[in-house]
Structure 1
Amino acid sequence: MSKTWWKESVVYQIYPRSFMDSNGDGIGDLQGIISKLHYLKSLGIDVIWLSPVYKSPNDDNGYDISDYQQIMDEFGTMADWEKLLEEVHNHGMKLIMDLVVNHTSDEHQWFIESKKAKDNQYRDYYIWRPGKNGKEPTNWYSNFGGSAWQYDEASDEYYLHLFSKKQPDLNWQNPQVRSDIYKMMTWWLEKGIDGFRMDVINFISKPEIFEDGELKQGKQYASGSKYYRNGPHIHEYLQEMNKTVLTKYDVMTVGEMPGVTPELARLYTDEARNELNMVFQFEHMGLDNGPNGKWDLKPLYLPDLKENLTKWQQALDTTGWNSLYFNNHDQPRSVSRFGNDKEYREKSAKMLATVLHMMKGTPFIYQGEEIGMTNIQFDSLDDYRDIETLNIYHELSEEGLPHEEIMESIYAKSRDNSRTPMQWDSSENAGFTTGTPWLKVNPNYLEINAETEIKHSDSIFHYYRKLIQLRKNHDIIVYGDYELLLRDHPEIFAYKRTLNNDTLIVICNFSNQEPIFELPLDLTFHSIELLISNYPTDNNIQTTQLKPYEAKAFLLKS
């Protein structure tokens, strides 16, 4: 396995709308990000992943792009973006951009042309189909609710949108579409960016023939995901993209891939196949879903999480590479989801960071995670902004679910949980804006904010700093082999990493109980070093009673 900079990096995701507002309009912007680069540098960040800042009508918060080569007015200008890139590089960090090419906005010039006539040269840039028996071409649902097809009266045809109806899917079977996308990617790389995070990139290859999905009882629409996830030409397209564009630059690529399996991920990330560096998989993000999906809540069963993350660690052990994350702009806050955001918020936030950052792969930190930001519970549905959240409320209401039950699901899983503004200090609006924030600030900002965290040496922020520094100091954390310990224990997540003569033992308690940890292996070592812990502790590793949400990692030398 080759050593590369992106394997050794720690990535920080910025959701620009909620990061820092420089001009008082209530919306985060590029100048706001520039003003906080020193903060990211002090944390130890190597790479910034910037969520979309392109021109967009903002139906899906920038993931509906109307011009790939312009900046959204709310975020600033291209000159602001160029200044940001320059300053990121001046701080010794790298910048990767979001690549959203499964779909565009319906306000993109390509789609405007595509709608004009069936014989327009851009018609085939999108996926148009005639209806079937007076209905949509297939019974697929959109990932944001409702049908995945939108009727166009002028041409008496439907276009496919796997997300919002304002996000029509591009037709990757058209070589001109691919050529135009590769030119756009090259344009950004020539500007000096350091790579791409690719939005739902494994959805781009659609089937040759569109068939209905399997309809669940009582539902109007079905999932078509088995037809478009990891579709028939996906590897061909990614290899072409790599050969045409990516291979010419020293860049990092990570593909967001819902529904990807470890076996497929090996193909996508095998260095010999020249596709991508790593993928975002979502299996561990579905372990607290009930049988009816994301909004059907069930508690996490820890052995499921251990089994799942271990499966991925082992599958990509020698071929491919893992991304490591618990948080992003589409997921609730991990300390509220997998930890205890009340009496053990600080301890459980540090514990979750430990279990993740000590694994093999590239860790991703989402803004606010490093200070232990929590989920939000808005009093009114009117305070929510996320299109998926608003759609599901109306959908579940129509199915007869009571308001209180739906709100419990929204409190737990809404994407707005991660999108509340970054909590910088205890001043009004958490120091995010002098205006009215686009999304309300979590009222706990008076206690939870970056300024307070930086001041206290024992804070979550400084714990993250130490974890990041440990990765830079110890090759075993980046490249060591992984083995799960105590596979069936309901409260303890423990594993070991090995490299040459070194062994790393990581012990994490996922509960507010005090279970006993017993080292199941007869390890011989001549020295032991405590690398990190979230409680004062000693060097006893053989048998120890863990405190609530305790985490510790030891380096053993034999």
Structure 2
Amino acid sequence: MKKHWWKESVIYQIYPRSFMDSNGDGIGDIPGIISKLDYLKDLGIDVIWLSPVYKSPNDDNGYDISDYRDIMDDFGTMADWELLLKEMHDRGLKLIMDLVVNHSSDEHEWFVESRKSKDNPYRDYYIWRPGKDGKEPNNWQSTFSGSAWQFDENTGEYYLHIFSKKQPDLNWENPKLRQEVHEMMKFWLDKGIDGFRMDVINFISKVDGLPDAPNPEGKKYVSGSRYFMNGPKIHDYLQEMHREALAQYDVMTVGEMPGANVEEAKLYTDDSRNELNMVFQFEHVDLDSGPGGKWDLKPLKLTDLKNNFTKWQKGLEDIGWNSLYLNNHDQPRMVSRFGDDKEYRVESAKMLGTFLHMLKGTPYIYQGEEIGMTNVRFDSIEDYKDIETLNMYNEKVNQNGENPAKVMESIYVKGRDNARTPFQWDDSEHGGFTTGTPWLQVNPNYTAINAEQAVEDESSIFHYYRKLIQLRKEHPVIVHGSYDILVPEDESIYVYTRTLESQKLLVLLNFTNEDQSFDIPADLQGKKNEILISNYEANTEYGSAISLKPYEAIVYLIQD
């Protein structure tokens, strides 16, 4: 398998609105990020993925872009951004930017023109259709609730929006639109960025004719996702994008791809196909969703998690590459979801970090993960800002009469604002994030959980993450070793090995709040070994059996 810098890197995601505010307006900004680069350099990460900072009316927190070549006023200026890039590169840090080209904002000049008339030169930059029998062109539903179509009085037609009605989908069938995207990408690549994270990039190809989705239950609208995920021309578009925009630069690309399976991911990430380097797949973060989707809560079974990760580890073993993540700006906090954010917050956060960083693939750290930030429980729906959450609450409670308390429980577990509460820098007011009023309330536990405390405490999650990142740089087996699972049917512990030539890692993870034990296989007994990292005082004898404390993680390096 080829070596690439992005395989050996650890990536840190910054959600700029919530990271650090430099001017007291309550909104994180680019100068705020610059002020914290030494903190990130100290953590040891290699790459920063910056969520969108482009001009935007902010309907979906910057994922609705009105100008792809300018910076949102809330975040600063292009000069601020250029300084950020310089300061990062001076520290040996790389920058990947978000590329959001399935849709734009309805305030983008292309769409402003597009809606003026049916013969406007920009009309075909978007997906317009006449109604059908006095209704929408088809029965597809927006991922943010309601119809995926919006009627526009001016021309008497509907436009498609898979997300908010202020996020009209771009028409990738139009070669002029594709050329505009490629030119915009080169604008940023020529400024010196190191790659792109591509937002819902596998949505850009829709099935010809945009047919109704099957609807045996007779619902008003249905997802339609099978018709706009991994569509018929997606590989053509990505190969063209690589050829026209990416091939001339040494950059990394990662595509966010809901609904992509292992076989599709192999196609997307096969080096020889010249599409993408990695994908973000969603299977593992859907394992605790019931038949009603994301908000339909169900307990997570460890065996389901193990089966899924093993499928992806083995599936992309020889072709392609995995992105490793348990949380991001769209997912709840991982220690609250997969660990124990109360009694064993520190131990379980370290265990989960060990789990992820010892797998094969490129690890992604979401801001605050390295200090064990948790989900939040705001008192009222009025305290929430996320459009997906608010639309869902309105539909379920106000339109369908569901129990508000039950709906709030789903929000406490799965809402996107869990990840978006401001970063907790210290125990001063608003966690040191701002001197003003934060755009979203800070989690009240900032007095106990904050970066200042974590940096000062040598036994903190922060310092544990530093060690995980350092180990990756020192041991090629962590980057390139093959993966194999042990005791796949055990519902309490996750054990796997990584093997490269004469070296083997044995990774032991207790996913419960009770003591567990593991019998070491005969072929691994009596070998020369050392503990690379453990989240308890490393005093475990390596014999025929190992006992594991609650949420304990131990990684042994075994030499043949």
TM over 0.5: yes
Distance 1:267 1:334 in 2: 29
Contact 1:528/1:539 (8 A) holds in 2? no
Aligned partner of 1:52 in structure 2 is 52
Q: Distance in 2 between matches of 1:204 and 1:75?
A: 28
The question of whether the paired residues in 1 share the 8 Å contact of 2:332 and 2:413 is answered with yes
Equivalent residue number for residue 499 of structure 1:
500
Percent identical pairs in the alignment equals 67
SS of corresponding position for 1:178: helix
Alpha-carbon offset, residue 153 of structure 1:
1.4
Q: Do structure 1's residue 318 and structure 2's residue 326 form an aligned pair?
A: no
Aligned match of 2:546: 544
Provide the residue aligned with 1:369 in structure 2. Answer: 369
Deviations 1:417-472 (A, max 9, x none): 00000000000100000000000000000000000000110000000000000000
1:223 Cα offset (Å): 1.1
2: CA distance between counterparts of 1:230 and 1:395?
A: 28
Written as runs of structure 1 = structure 2, the 5 A alignment for 1:449-468 is 449-468=450-469
The residue that corresponds to 2:517 in the other structure is: 516
Matches for 1:134-145 after TM superposition, within 5 Å: 134-145=134-145
1:469 is matched by which residue type in structure 2?
Q
TM-score by length of 1: 0.99
> How far apart, in 1, do the equivalents of 2:75 and 2:504 lie?
47
How has the CA–CA distance of structure 1 residues 180 and 307 changed in structure 2, closer, same or farther, with 3 Å as cutoff? same
Cα displacement (A) at 1:194: 0.2
- 2:263 equivalent in structure 1: 263
- Whole-angstrom distance in 2 between the partners of 1:126 and 1:95: 30
- Contact 2:332/2:418, CA 8 A, preserved across alignment: yes
Q: Tell me how far 1:100 sits from its aligned partner.
A: 0.1
Alignment deviations for residues 518-538 of structure 1 (CA, whole Å, 9 cap, x no partner) = 123522664101000011132
**Secondary structure, aligned partner of 1:307:** helix
Q: 2: CA distance between counterparts of 1:148 and 1:316?
A: 34
Shift in Å, 1:496:
0.3
Task: Specify every segment of 5 or more residues in structure 1 that has no aligned partner in the other structure, as ranges.
Answer: none
Query: Residues 191-232 of structure 1, C-alpha deviation per residue, up to 9 Å, x if partnerless?
Result: 000000000000001111111113363732101100110001
8 A Cα contact 1:525 1:556, kept in partner:
no
| Cα distance between partner residues in 2 of 1:547 and 1:214 | 50
Residues 37-63 of structure 1, C-alpha deviations (whole Å, 9 max, x = no match): 000000001000000000000000000
User: Would you say the 8 A contact 2:56–2:67 is kept in 1?
Assistant: yes
Match of 1:298? 298
- The 2-side partners of 1:190 and 1:521 are apart by 56
Answer yes or no: is the 8 Å Cα contact 2:525–2:544 preserved in 1: no
The normalised TM-score by structure 2 is 0.99
Which has the higher mean CA deviation after the structures are superposed, 470-479 or 204-213? 204-213
1:407 aligns with 2:408: yes
Measure the CA separation in 1 of the matches of 2:189 and 2:504: 40
The one-letter code of the counterpart of 1:200 is V
CA distance in 2, matches of 1:455, 1:285: 33
Query: Residues 62-461 of structure 1: matches in 2 within 5 Å?
Result: 62-215=62-215, 217=217, 219-397=219-397, 398-461=399-462
- SS in structure 2 opposite 1:245? helix
Distance 2:460 2:427 in 1: 16
The aligned counterpart of 2:15 is 15
Code of the aligned partner of 2:546: T
CA RMSD, Structure 1 to Structure 2 (Å): 0.9
Instruction: Give the drift of 1:542.
Output: 3.0
In the alignment, the residues of structure 1 paired with residue 2 and residue 108 of structure 2 have an alpha-carbon distance, to the nearest angstrom, of 40
- CA deviations over 1:23-46 (Å, ceiling 9, x no partner): 000000000000000000000010
Which amino acid in structure 1 is aligned with residue 549 of structure 2? K
